[in-house]
Structures are given as structure tokens and as C-alpha cells.
Structure 1
Amino acid sequence: MLTDLKPNLHRLSAVSLLAVALTLVACKAPPSSTTTPALPAPPEVVSGYRTDLQTRHADKHMAAAANPLAAEAGREMLRRGGSAIDAAIAMQAVLTLVEPQSSGIGGGAFIVLWDGKAVRTYDGRETAPAGATERLFLQADGKPMPFTAAQIGGRSVGTPGVLRGLELAHRKHGRLEWATLFEPAIALAEQGFAISPRLHALIASDSSLPGSPDMAAYFLNADGSPKAVGTVLKNPALAAVLKRIANEGPDALYNGPIAEEIVAKVQGHANPGSLSLNDLKGYTARERPALCTDYKRWQICGMPPPSSGGVAVAQILGTLQALEQRDSNAALTPLKPLKTDKPAGIEPTPEAVHLIAEAERLAYADRAQYIADPNFVAVPLKGLVDQGYLASRASLIGPRSMGVAKPGTPPGIQVAYAPDRSPLRISTSQVVAVDDQGGAVSMTTTVESAFGSHLMVQGFMLNNQMTDFSFIPEENGQKVANRVEPGKRPRSSMAPTLIFDHQGRLLAAVGSPGGSQIIEYVAKSVIGLLDWNLDPQTAINLPNFGSRNGPTELEKGQFSPTLIQALKDKGHTVSEIDMNSGTQAIVRMRDAQGKTSLAGGADPRREGQALGD
């Protein structure tokens, strides 16, 4: 077992079903309401589906990112002998330039890292300014603000954290000099890069962009039309910022003129925020114990709170495992070829979709009830992934859909909270890397919604991460765990994941962007890799599906009428929608002689690429 071999991993013990029953008696049960928040459209528009991708193979190292220029920067660092985190830093810098709608140095990140001895996680999530209050997103009448009104401007900007998170990880695991890691991004910013079809689509679809003078000058023509695909964009302002960060470290952003401009933009906007110089100077990234749980003959390691992603993925897999132990029929029945001509080529059986969606309903219900910043809220983390508790949750799954699940009552509850009924949105990017020494990283990085707050400072976007807090601070006299509080980190769905076999050997690095659907995308890909024994590209290509504790969501145009009808016959309310994942995965393969190699895949729904040697 990996955790037996590596005692500094966070080990989560199981308790009996009896303990669960006793806890139900002892603790105040959560509210019985089954109302769920409205489910928004994906945070980024669909920009096509590529049919030319195949699994890439390598012998020494590999990097994958949501843009080929970023993936190339990661591979360049690996070729120079860099570590996985070195590659991730180079990829993040390039993504700030070429994928500004999704991530950048004005946002935050969660990092799950394997150094060959232990899994470590680094929390570079944004924090609420000291001046923020739980009524931040309430109107004068006490009702929550419309999302766009909350998003655009300084009100939504949290203290950026990604650079501090990367600095902390690099200090412990970097091999190359910090300044070296920014060379590819600086060169691209100075020489220019071609606007990609995806970036063009995001620019063209953003109705708020023309209202931001800096963004309009950069992304639009003089007549207000979006610059065409292939137009070369140069960003000398960002090049200068990256040079300062390369030479001075992250202090260049958190102190001095860049920090002063950030604060001026936030506080001077018509929709102002309270972010201050003291907030920037006082930001600290955190190393947190990895959340590692057993799943059949593997171990899954992810990000603990304030991300809900690692918890939810562990809950989904644990619930499915309990179902398999309970039922003679396997919970994850095989895939079958699609009967219609679809890009993905294969689809799961209706029974597999049914059971996975039901497990996800249960996980999302618990997510809304319990997950928040553990430095502010007593999250019952061990109880949420306890084997006995998940077995009790699995007992709620039957042959027909439950529709909307209620949160459970896991062991370890100390305070009763109201469920969070706020919108579910976040715009993100994903990178994965495996280095020559076998180290690995999965990092999910974000500015929240597409183009964040729409405040541009010296060539980069500021996040709107504050809107990941609950807009509603309390309900029926009970506080919401994820309410706004000064210095608090908002809950996330990001789920960077590393997978190991039970001999403690790295098997895979995987993760995805995609807002509150990240959990669905990562769970699908992990099941595809492990249960269905698919290569990484095929696992990523699988049609997206799942439930956020509402309708059963199916990727539009990717499922057969037979499957859709079978789900309806099981009581599912089916919603065919765009499900714009951006999954990256690298898998370590072993042949019969024990020789290892790497196989990588990137999501055909975006512009990513896996590159290795």
C-alpha cells in the first residue's frame, strides 16, 4: 500500500456502519430540503472537437497542457533536466499569455505533486480581502446579486495565489533556476503568438469584454470586432512583468508598482472591491496533507479542502466500490461501441451511466453542505470518505434515479451548516508533467470565470475568485460553510489527481478544467483508465456525462438514442448540454519485462497537447 510505504501521506481510516448510525443520532441532521442551486452553462464556450488526436508515447518525460505552446514550454524544461514542477511553472507562465481566459498569474492554483517519496499538495488558492464581509454579494433587499453584476469589476477579485503556490513548490522540488522557467513565456510575449481558434471564440462570445478598455485595446480591432484567428498578439507589458518575476521572484507582484496598480484597478472600478496592499503582502501559500484513499487495487491522491474536487472524486469512487461489493452485477459494466457515428467512438452502458450519476448526486449533495476552507470551517474530511459512510450512501442507490440527493451525516460533524445554493462556476486550465526521475505533478489553475473579473493589469487578467463563495451567507438561521469571510479561501471543484498502484508506484497524473463539472470529468477519466483499461486519449475522448445533483447531464450529440431512452426508463431527467472539459492525462506503462514508458493524452474539446521524449 502506498500509504504504508510512505508514512507522511495523509491516511484516512475507516469506521463501521454502526459508528455512522450513532453519529446520526448524536448530531443534528442537515436540512431536509432537496432544492439544488441552478446549474449554469459551462464557464467557457465550446470551440470545436478535434478528431486527429492519438495517445502520445515517450520514454523519459512528458508534459501536457491546454495549449501546445504551453506544452512545448513544459517539455523544454524537462529536456533541460528540470523537475515536474519546473515544467508546470513554465507552462503556467505561457498559459497566462496564450490562454488568458482560463488562468494566469492573477489567479490561483492547486498542485498535487509526487517527489518519488511522498505525495504533497500545495494550495495557491486566492483569499478574501480583509475588507470583505459575508454580505458582499447581497443587494440592498437582501437578495443575491446577479452573477455578472458580481463578477465584473473589483468586487470579485481575491488575493492572487498561484505565484506563491508555485514558489513554495519550487523551493522544495525545483531543479532549474526560477528565472529559467519564464524564458519561453517572455520570448512569446515579446515576439508574439497567433490567436488560436479557441481564444478567438472566447473573445467573440464575451459581451462584457468591450466594456474593459485594456481588454478591448488588446483583443479587439478599432471597429470593435474581435481580432481574427491567426493575428499575432504581442504583449510587451506582460513580458516586462514576467521579467521582473523571473529576476525578483513573486515579490515583484505582491509588492511595489505592480501591486499598487492591481489595488488601484480593484478599488477604482465602478464596481469596486476592497483588495489592499496589505492583502497582497500578507498572502501565504499552504502545504496541506494529501487526500489519499483506496479504490480497488489502486490508490487515488487528490487535493483536500478548500477544494471539493479530491473529496468528491474519492466519494464517487468509494461509493461505486461499495456498490460492487454489495451487488453481484459489477457497478461499472463495460463500454460498448456507439451505434451512431460520433467522434468519441464508444459510450458506456446505460447501467454504468446510471450508477456513476447516482454516486455523483450523493457526492455533490455533501459538497454543498460541508466543504469550505478548513482553516475556517470544521470539515468532516475523514468521515466524508470513510468506507462505512460511503457504504451507507451506496445503499441509497437503486434501479431508478433518486433525482435529487440529500446530504448525508458523516462521522465527525461538529457544526451543522446550511446547504450552499449559490451558482456553480469556474474557468480553469490543467497541466500535468512527469520528469526523468519519475516525479509527477497535476496542477489545476484558474482565474474563475472566462477572463476573470475583466480587469487587466499590465497584460494579465485579475481573477473573480470571490464569486466562488456562497452568495447567500445563511439560511433559516444556519450559516453556510462557504460564506465570505476575511482571509478565507473559497471552495473549488478543482481536482488535480495522481494515481498509484498498491506497491506505491506512480500510475497516472490526470486533471481537468470545466467549472463545477470538473468532478464529473475527472471521475469519468479515472474510471476509463482504471475500470475500463483504456489508453489515456481514449479515456479522455469518452463522452462526458454525470450529475451535479440535478438532471443527468449528457454531452450534446455524443450519446445514442438507445442510451438516452434507457436512462429515462430508469427515472432520469436527461439534459443534453455542452460539457467542455479540458482533461490532460499521463499514464506510466509497464511491459511484461518491467520496462516503463509514458503515454499521454489531451482533450479534443480544447487545444491541448501531450509532448514527450
Structure 2
Amino acid sequence: MVSKRVVSKRVVSKKATLTFASLLLIPLYSWGFSYEAPAITPEVGSGYEEKPGWAASSFAVAAANPLATDAGYQVLKAGGNAVDAAVAVQMVLTLVEPQSSGIGGGAFLLHYDGSNVQAYDGRETAPAAATGELFMEDGEPLAFMDAVASGLSVGVPGTLKMLEKAHAEHGQLSWEVLFEPAIVLAEEGFAVSQRLHTSLANDEALRHDPLASTFYYDASGEPIAVGETLKNPALATIFRRIAREGSVALHEGDIAEDLVHRVQTHSARPGEMTLDDLSGYEALEREPLCTPWQQWDVCGFPPPSSGHITVMQILGMLDQQPLLEAPLDNGAASSGWLHQFLESSRLAFADRGRYIADPAFVEAPGGDWSLMLAPEYLANRSALIGEESMGEGAEPGNPGEQTVSFASQPEQPEYGTSHISIVDAEGNAVAMTTTIEQAFGSRILADGGTGLPGGYLLNNELTDFSFVPEIDGEPVANRVEPGKRPRSSMAPTLVFDQDSGELVASLGSPGGAAIIHYTARTLVAMRDWGLSAQTALNLPHAITLGGDVSVEQGRFSEATIEALRERGHTVNERDLTSGLQAIMRLEDGSLFGGADPRREGVVMGD
């Protein structure tokens, strides 16, 4: 059963007799944690930067930006635990990596307390006024970017309430002090990284938002330069409110009113989110899915995430295939192994498109999601893999008797996201994947009604729903419905040794639907190929959502690509910018962490 253990707030207890009014007058550093902003030089602009991996003896934190990692590290050094560090890391990411995640979005968090794994769901929800026709105009689905850059795409955010729920049960340090790093950096400024600059330069839609255009761009439309100091006084003010008042500061009152106003007054396509939608949002605790996989138990998130089920379907089918040692071709897996991996992906994605959606609205096949991972079912699915690619012909299976017949959702783009992995000195662990979906979300910047420069970005998470509600008279499981949580690909993962029960790893990645491939391949590299966390993350990527195969640009030999084509795969080369983070526990009890060379993340620990 899921633990409901509540950890006492030992730092807060010294202040317990203070009134709320007096709290407003106390500087955050008086709570026993004094944050020091580090001097960090932005990453180089190569797009791929070799990283060594990082060893630690007792605790480690991995995040997508060095400033965010450092915030988590300082919290752990000050006596905070994994959940405390996750709160601090997320708030800094809201500031320094606004294109990927933040308080205007949603997140899934897996937590391990030394004996129990808990799954905290902060996924966004559709407003009460949303209908299955949300993204339809004149009987046709909107163009994807027309839907994204609009008020229609904004789901009710859940990250903040979810973190507050997890912290209330497990936090060691007070909620207030965990905002200090983000507040200091927002007020004093931080050096703009290459990745943020490049993201701003490549985005046209953000320039059309009246607040974002003047905050992130100059009068001629040029993005803020690499290394330039960027302050965000609006976000600092918002963070101070949330630090003192909790999540209610975002979900009710003037900050909430500003959020709703931004959504409802969008110039092109206004949304219908209301204050009742915001105030009524609830973060949920779900039963995690823990799946045996040879000597490991792999724990992940249940629906509305498709991440864990699809990852473990791929791995379960691979285990039924003829054993290949996957010889490495300049760091890339062999064409034989890649063929098995890609065909397993086709079959798993066919099931995903038919069955997986918010469990409050859609029943699992046979009433139990674990039936999609049953060994006999996966063995039957794996038997469909031949020497030639099935191409677009992969059909969903029948893992359990359905009471409702669903249509398969057409393929749609998925983007964005960030991942955080943390292991603290007491053995607690977090795997948290967090998102606003597309780069810069809905392209709506909200300043909380402060009138100050800056703010936070609102998500476009509702575009993770199917744009078409039904096909040939059959409903799509992941169609838009009021209060529903859109299907996600996020796959925060905690791995345990079956014999000892000890934690083996925390990992995850951004990347839209490709999160599933990135996570699955990393698990294979760590378990079957015996690679370190960093070496596993360095390997090149190959993905398919059921159609063409994409392989990472310049990372595979022509011989490997041609061998895939000879098996019937249609192959193209492109950038596959994952953002994997992984921390592994070694046999001697120490830790070794890796950060994706394709992004600016690092690992820090002691």
C-alpha cells in the first residue's frame, strides 16, 4: 500500500508560534538556509557537449540547468531531503529554463522513502467548459501551431499543488526557504544560456505575446543575448507570495485572476478557463506501476501517463526476441538490435494510441492496466516481429476484454519538458518529469497582475489530447472532456534490485513521445550492456511512433542506416534532443550520475 507518512518540519518548528502577519516581515534566510548564487558560465553553443559523469558518496541531484542543479545541491547540503530539493530545482527551472517547465504547467513525481514508492500526479486538467470539439473549426482539426499558440491550449496547471502535496508529506525544510534560490536569481538576475537564447531566436509565436515580446526581445525583435543578465521582478514577486501563502496564491486571488484574464483575452483564440477551474484543481496520489524486468523492478507512472506502460511493453517484447549482444557501431547499437527495438516500439505505440488515457474517463483493458504488461500478452505481441519491418501496419492488440470500443488516435506532435533526478543522503529518491509541453508552452506570459517585467509561461498541455474526438463513429480514448487530464508520455522512473529491494537508479527525460524511446534504450544500456549512467545517456537515438524511423543526425554509420532500409524501414536523420538525467547506485553504495550531452544539465553531489 502507499505510505501516508508525514515527516515533521524540523526547521519550521522553531517558528511555530509566529503569526501569519509576522511571517510576512521575516526575510527568507532567517529560516536556517542561506542561498548563495553561484557564478556559472552559460554552456557552449555546439548542441552536443561531452560530459564526464559525476561520482558522489552519499547524495546527488541531476537537473537540466546548472543553476537549478546547484539550488537542489545547496538544499541537500543544508539538511533538506529529495522532495525539498525537487521544489527548489523546479522553481529555478521556471526562471532559467522557461521554455520547458514551470509553475504554469504540470508534472509527475515518483518518490521513494526507503520503503515505499509514491506517485504524485500534477498533470493539468481541461477546463469545465472544454468539449471534444475544442480544437475543431468548421469540422476540421486546427493546424497544430494555431492550436498551441492560443488560449484554447492552456490546461489548469498542477505542478505547484502537486509539489505542495508531496512536501506536506515528506518535506524536511520549510516550504518558504525552498523558494529562496529562485527569488534571489530572479531579483539579482542570471546569465542567459545558449539554449534559452537559441530557443528564443527560433520561436516566432512568442514574439506575438505583448508581455513576452518586450521581456525576452529588444525593439528590433532580437532575443536577449547569451551571457546577458536577465532579471525577472514579476516572477520574484509571485514566488514571494507563493512562498508565504502556498499554492493558494497561484490558484486563487489576484494572481489567479491575471492567469484567467490572459487565457480568456487571447487575441486569436481565447480559452474558457475560469477561476473555479483554478481553485478546484486537485493534485492526486496514484498507485505506481512496478514491473518485474529480469533482476530489476522498474517503477513508473500509471495513466494518464503512457510512459511506463509503453516503455515496459517495448522492453518486455525485446526480452522475447533472439538475444543480441548489440555490438556498438561507433557508439550506436547494431542494425539487428535496432530493428527489434523499432518493431517493438511500433506495436507498443499501437496499443498506446488505442487504449491509454485518463483513468477517470477510460477503463483499462480488462479493468487492469497491468494486463498490457502481462508476459504472455507481450510474448504474443513479440511473435509478430519478423525480419522485415511492418511499417505502418502495426495494429493494437487485445490485452483485455473491452466494454467500450475505441478508435486509435491519429499521430500528433508532442514536445518540451524537463527531468529531475535526486537521491538524498538518507536514501530517499525522486524522479520527476515536468512540462509546459511545447517550447514556451502556449506563448502566453503571465505577470501575476504585478505590472512588472517578466512572469511565467502558461502551458499548451491540452494539445496532448486528440484534436478529433471520434473516428468513424468510435470515440478516441484521449479525446477532450471537461476536467480530464491529457495523456502524457512522461516516464519518471525508479529502479530497484529484486533480491535486495535497494534503489538502483532514478532516471527520465524530456522529448515528447520520444521520451519513451529515450528511457527504454537507457534502461537496456544500463542493465544489458553494463554501461555507466553517463555512457548510456551518450548513446545515439533511434525512434519511431509507428511510421518513419528517425535516427540521430550524424551518429549512425551509413551501413547501419542502409541495413535498416533493407529491412523495410523508411529512415531519416534529424536532431533528437533528449534531456536525459540519471543517477545510479553502484555496488559499493556510492552514486554515479549522468546528464544528457545534448542539453546544459549537470549533476552535483557529495
Contact 1:353 1:546 in 2 (8 A): no
The structural deviation recorded for 1:149 is 1.0
Alignment match, 1:370: 355
* Alpha-carbon distance between aligned partners in 1 of 2:318 and 2:550, rounded to the nearest angstrom: 19
The structural deviation recorded for 1:225 is 1.1
Alignment match, 1:42: none
Alignment match, 1:484: 480
Contact 1:60 1:597 in 2 (8 A): yes
Q: Where does 1:289-368 land on structure 2 (aligned, <5 Å)?
A: 289-323=287-321, 327=322, 330=323, 332-338=324-330, 346-368=331-353
User: Residue 124 of structure 1: which of 116, 122, 132 is its match?
Assistant: 122
The one-character-per-residue Cα deviations of 1:512-547 (angstroms, maximum 9, x if unpaired) are 001111101111111111111101111000001122
Alignment match, 2:548: 551
Contact 1:47 1:605 in 2 (8 A): no
Alignment match, 2:397: 408
* Alpha-carbon distance between aligned partners in 1 of 2:66 and 2:402, rounded to the nearest angstrom: 45
User: Residues 560 and 117 from structure 1, CA distance in 2 versus in 1: closer, same or farther, beyond 3 angstroms?
Assistant: same
Alignment match, 1:222: 219
* Alpha-carbon distance between aligned partners in 2 of 1:515 and 1:336, rounded to the nearest angstrom: 26
Secondary structure class of the residue paired with 2:160: helix
Q: Where does 1:495-534 land on structure 2 (aligned, <5 Å)?
A: 495-502=491-498, 503-534=500-531
* Alpha-carbon distance between aligned partners in 2 of 1:411 and 1:258, rounded to the nearest angstrom: 46
Moved more, 89-98 or 149-158: 149-158
Secondary structure class of the residue paired with 2:319: helix
Q: Does 2:598 match 1:610?
A: no
Alignment match, 1:599: 592
Residue 479 of structure 1 aligns with an amino acid whose one-letter code is P
The structural deviation recorded for 1:320 is 1.2
The one-character-per-residue Cα deviations of 1:465-485 (angstroms, maximum 9, x if unpaired) are 111100000011100000000
The structural deviation recorded for 1:422 is 4.4
* Alpha-carbon distance between aligned partners in 1 of 2:527 and 2:73, rounded to the nearest angstrom: 26
Contact 1:585 1:601 in 2 (8 A): yes
User: Residue 185 of structure 1: which of 182, 185, 190 is its match?
Assistant: 182
Alignment match, 1:281: 279
Secondary structure class of the residue paired with 2:108: strand
Alignment match, 1:28: none
The structural deviation recorded for 1:312 is 0.5
Q: Does 2:380 match 1:392?
A: yes
Alignment match, 1:455: 444
* Alpha-carbon distance between aligned partners in 1 of 2:50 and 2:494, rounded to the nearest angstrom: 27
* Alpha-carbon distance between aligned partners in 2 of 1:587 and 1:382, rounded to the nearest angstrom: 26
Residue 527 of structure 2 aligns with an amino acid whose one-letter code is L
The structural deviation recorded for 1:47 is 6.0
The structural deviation recorded for 1:228 is 1.1
* Alpha-carbon distance between aligned partners in 1 of 2:415 and 2:292, rounded to the nearest angstrom: 28
The one-character-per-residue Cα deviations of 1:264-292 (angstroms, maximum 9, x if unpaired) are 11111121001100000000011000011
Secondary structure class of the residue paired with 1:156: coil
Alignment match, 1:207: 204
Residue 284 of structure 1 aligns with an amino acid whose one-letter code is E
Contact 1:128 1:466 in 2 (8 A): yes
* Alpha-carbon distance between aligned partners in 2 of 1:482 and 1:144, rounded to the nearest angstrom: 15
* Alpha-carbon distance between aligned partners in 2 of 1:47 and 1:398, rounded to the nearest angstrom: 42
The one-character-per-residue Cα deviations of 1:153-202 (angstroms, maximum 9, x if unpaired) are 21111100001111111111111111111110000000001110000000
* Alpha-carbon distance between aligned partners in 1 of 2:543 and 2:218, rounded to the nearest angstrom: 40
Q: Does 2:47 match 1:55?
A: no
Q: Does 2:245 match 1:256?
A: no
Alignment match, 1:438: 427
The structural deviation recorded for 1:337 is 4.4
Indicate the percent of aligned positions where both proteins have the same amino acid.
Answer: 51
The structural deviation recorded for 1:551 is 1.5
Secondary structure class of the residue paired with 1:121: strand
Secondary structure class of the residue paired with 1:216: helix
The structural deviation recorded for 1:333 is 2.0
Alignment match, 1:343: none
User: Residues 47 and 123 from structure 1, CA distance in 2 versus in 1: closer, same or farther, beyond 3 angstroms?
Assistant: farther
Secondary structure class of the residue paired with 1:415: coil
Q: Provide runs of 4+ in structure 1 moved above 3 Å.
A: 46-52
* Alpha-carbon distance between aligned partners in 2 of 1:220 and 1:567, rounded to the nearest angstrom: 44
The one-character-per-residue Cα deviations of 1:475-503 (angstroms, maximum 9, x if unpaired) are 11100000000000000110100111112
Alignment match, 1:423: 412
Q: Does 2:155 match 1:158?
A: yes
* Alpha-carbon distance between aligned partners in 2 of 1:295 and 1:413, rounded to the nearest angstrom: 27
User: Residue 112 of structure 2: which of 98, 106, 114 is its match?
Assistant: 114
Identify unmatched segments of 5+ residues in structure 1: 1-6, 10-45, 339-345
Secondary structure class of the residue paired with 1:365: helix
* Alpha-carbon distance between aligned partners in 1 of 2:201 and 2:411, rounded to the nearest angstrom: 27
* Alpha-carbon distance between aligned partners in 1 of 2:406 and 2:83, rounded to the nearest angstrom: 37
Residue 362 of structure 1 aligns with an amino acid whose one-letter code is L
Secondary structure class of the residue paired with 1:264: helix
* Alpha-carbon distance between aligned partners in 2 of 1:136 and 1:601, rounded to the nearest angstrom: 41
* Alpha-carbon distance between aligned partners in 1 of 2:45 and 2:398, rounded to the nearest angstrom: 41
Contact 1:296 1:321 in 2 (8 A): no
Residue 402 of structure 1 aligns with an amino acid whose one-letter code is M
* Alpha-carbon distance between aligned partners in 2 of 1:431 and 1:305, rounded to the nearest angstrom: 20
Secondary structure class of the residue paired with 2:332: strand
Q: Does 2:165 match 1:172?
A: no
* Alpha-carbon distance between aligned partners in 1 of 2:585 and 2:72, rounded to the nearest angstrom: 18
The one-character-per-residue Cα deviations of 1:207-235 (angstroms, maximum 9, x if unpaired) are 11221111111111122111111111000
* Alpha-carbon distance between aligned partners in 1 of 2:234 and 2:327, rounded to the nearest angstrom: 50
Secondary structure class of the residue paired with 2:141: coil
* Alpha-carbon distance between aligned partners in 2 of 1:417 and 1:227, rounded to the nearest angstrom: 47
TM-score, normalised with respect to structure 2: 0.90
The structural deviation recorded for 1:335 is 3.2
Contact 1:75 1:87 in 2 (8 A): yes
Alignment match, 2:557: 560
* Alpha-carbon distance between aligned partners in 2 of 1:335 and 1:105, rounded to the nearest angstrom: 43
The structural deviation recorded for 1:350 is 1.0
User: Residue 75 of structure 1: which of 69, 73, 76 is its match?
Assistant: 73
Contact 1:382 1:412 in 2 (8 A): no
Residue 564 of structure 2 aligns with an amino acid whose one-letter code is L
Number of residue-to-residue matches in the alignment:
553
The structural deviation recorded for 1:347 is 1.2
The structural deviation recorded for 1:426 is 2.6
* Alpha-carbon distance between aligned partners in 2 of 1:511 and 1:563, rounded to the nearest angstrom: 27
Alignment match, 2:574: 577
Secondary structure class of the residue paired with 2:185: helix
TM-score, normalised with respect to structure 1: 0.89
The structural deviation recorded for 1:204 is 0.2
* Alpha-carbon distance between aligned partners in 2 of 1:474 and 1:407, rounded to the nearest angstrom: 17
Secondary structure class of the residue paired with 2:84: helix
Contact 1:189 1:236 in 2 (8 A): yes
* Alpha-carbon distance between aligned partners in 1 of 2:540 and 2:166, rounded to the nearest angstrom: 34
Contact 1:48 1:606 in 2 (8 A): no
Residue 598 of structure 1 aligns with an amino acid whose one-letter code is L
* Alpha-carbon distance between aligned partners in 1 of 2:405 and 2:325, rounded to the nearest angstrom: 38
Residue 335 of structure 1 aligns with an amino acid whose one-letter code is P
Alignment match, 1:84: 82
Q: Where does 1:29-68 land on structure 2 (aligned, <5 Å)?
A: 48-68=46-66
The structural deviation recorded for 1:8 is 4.9
Aligned-residue Cα RMSD (Å) equals 1.3
Residue 572 of structure 2 aligns with an amino acid whose one-letter code is S
